[in-house]
A = this chain, B = another copy of it.
Amino acid sequence: MHAIGTASRLSGVGIETIRFYERSGVIPRPARAANGRRLYTDAEIARLRFLKKCRDLGFSLAEARALRELSENAGADCAGAAALARAHRDKVRARIAELQRLDAALGELMQNCADGNAACPLLHAIANA
What is the minimal beta-carbon distance from A8 to any residue of chain B, in angstroms? 19
- At the interface, is chain A mostly helix, strand, loop or mixed? helix
Count of A residues near B, CB < 8 Å?
A: 47
Oligomeric state, in copies: 2
A43-62 near B? 1/0 per residue, CB < 8 Å: 00010011001100110000
Check A33 for interface membership: any CB of B closer than 8 A: no
Residues of B within 8 Å of A102, CB to CB, are 57-58, 92
Say whether B127 contacts A50, CB under 8 Å.
yes
Q: A99-B96, A129-B53 are in contact. Are A123 and B67 (CB under 8 A)?
A: yes
Closest 5 CB pairs of A and B: A78-B120, A71-B123, A82-B113, A76-B120, A89-B106
* Interface set of A (CB-CB < 8 Å, partner B): 46, 49-50, 53-54, 57-58, 67, 70-71, 75-78, 81-82, 85-86, 88-89, 92-93, 95-96, 99-100, 102-103, 105-107, 109-110, 113-114, 116-124, 126-127, 129
